[in-house]
Amino acid sequence: MLHLFRLLLLLINIDQETVLNWFGIDDSITQKIRQVAESGSDLNFSNMESSSQVSLETFRLIFQGLSFKIQEGLTLSDIEGALFFILFIRFLILAIRYNLKTSFYITCIGLFAGYLWYRHLIDLISMYRGVLLKLPFLNKLGMDAVQMRTLNRYLGRTEFKLGENAHWYNPGQIVFYAFTKGIINIDPETGLRYYIDPISMFLTKLQEPSKSNILPLYYTIYSKTIPKIYYICSKFWNQLSGVAAYAVITRIGKRYCPYLVRWHWTFLLIIGLVEQIFIYFIYRVVYFQTFVLIPQTKIVPETEFLDSSVDPSLLLQINMLNAVIACIVLSHIGLVIFGLFHAVWGQYFYIPFFVENTELHIGPRPKNSVYSGGYTSWQDRDEKEKNFQRVVPKLWYGLFGRGTNRKSQILEIFKQLFKKITQKIRKKFKK
């Protein structure tokens, strides 16, 4: 889960085994060890070849392994692995183009912008968890959402223990766990807990009778007052943390906040107003389908098959609602993943109405800074084109917002390739 620490360990031996393990793909050596272990025979490492260097065969194995994993279903760990691999490749490219310092800053800006989209993706799959469990390709995302929800409920009812469940996208939990773990010492023999913070250690040195007078107040503050204050502050912070952080970072600290972060953060807040309409629409559709339509279908006892007398129009309504639910959920999650990968790459994208309102808040992209991100072709329009597109909005501004008038675009390349093929076919027919 903590792929960020893998990026910092640049002194490891990068061979085929290392690259495949990054993506969670077994190479030939690992498969041989697993087969020998399952058969119960002894391992003979002298007959095993060392892992080969990175080559075209490595990329072929990566493509095959990822395609097989995608067919099984998309998970959060797959998305995280792809994101941090992109960050690593982008860091290397920018280091060659600029220098290590500039590359590190630009990569961190993309990481922070991607973090905003990733947190939004987690909230989204948590809301759609019941629907995702029914979709073939996204059912593992629904399982991840159910596990996270169960874990949060468990942590809310019992003692706050993170351990291996601490994630990189919850820095507050990691800091709080480190603080509480550092000041509490548990005796392995008796199981008693001792506080080893400076205040507790100072109180142990007090003499009677002042010690007996201060200890009840001390335990009251530690056991009741501080937990209640923390609970109240956490509830208050959960409600206002997003807006407060946005106001402090992008408004008050506008001078120090990169344009890429301000653009993507503002865009997320604006689309959040429209997202609620679709989310609650899905809730209502699922409720109508589950508690109104499905109970009207008669099921034969002990067979779990529909009765032959079921109204075909009822089944048609259920199937149509399934199609509507799948279409909306897939489009919504696809849009968020689309924005997530654009943010990690340090790029922008265009969606009518939303982008205009976003840039009304934060202004146009500064052209003289390498930290401002990629291209925003829609900002370079003349006034005549802007007035025309207010009536008929343009839907596509090329890959990563580069524009559609460049000959180097992929669509233009395919057009030229298609023309060459058709010309060769015509010449053969003429002969």
Domain ranges of the chain: 105-397
**pLDDT value for 249:** 84
Four-CA torsion 335, 337, 339, 345, nearest 10 degrees = -150
22-56: per-residue pLDDT in tens? 666 655 545 444 444 455 545 454 444 445 665 56
Q: How many helices (H) and strands (E) does the chain have?
A: 17, 4
Nearest to 177 by CA among 164, 192, 195: 164
261-271: per-residue pLDDT in tens? 999 999 999 99
The answer to whether 80 and 3 are in contact (CB under 8 A) is yes
Count the Cβ atoms, other than its own, within 10 Å of residue 348.
29
**pLDDT value for 138:** 82
Count the Cβ atoms, other than its own, within 10 Å of residue 360.
10
208, two tokens: 């009677």
DSSP string, 61-91: HHHHHHHHHHHH---HHHHHHHHHHHHHHHH
**Judging by beta carbons within 10 Å of its beta carbon (0-12, 13-18, 19+), is residue 228 exposed, middle or buried?**
exposed
Q: For the chain, what percent of residues have pLDDT higher than 90?
A: 20
Tell me which of 125-139, 143-157, 164-178, 263-277 is least confident.
164-178
Give the length of the chain.
431
**pLDDT value for 294:** 81
Strand-pair partners of 336: none
**Which residue has better confidence, 216 or 197?**
216
231-265: per-residue pLDDT in tens? 787 777 777 777 788 888 888 888 889 999 999 99
**Residues 6+ away with beta carbon under 8 Å from 313:** none
**Which residue has better confidence, 225 or 115?**
115
The answer to whether 113 and 374 are in contact (CB under 8 A) is no
Q: Bin 42: left if φ > 0, else alpha if -120 < ψ < 50, else beta.
A: beta
CA gap 88, 57 in Å, rounded: 21
Kindly indicate the confidence band of residue 160, based on its pLDDT and cuts at 50, 70 and 90. very low
225, two tokens: 């007052």
Secondary structure letter of residue 220 according to DSSP = H
279-337: per-residue pLDDT in tens? 999 999 999 988 888 887 765 444 444 455 567 788 888 889 999 999 999 999 999 99
- Give the number of C-alpha atoms closer than 13 A to the C-alpha of residue 214, restricted to the C-beta side: 12
Of the ranges 82-91, 379-388, 393-402, the best mean pLDDT one: 82-91
Q: Which helix (H) or strand (E) holds 194?
A: strand 193-195
**Residues 6+ away with beta carbon under 8 Å from 102:** 94, 370
The answer to whether 264 and 355 are in contact (CB under 8 A) is no
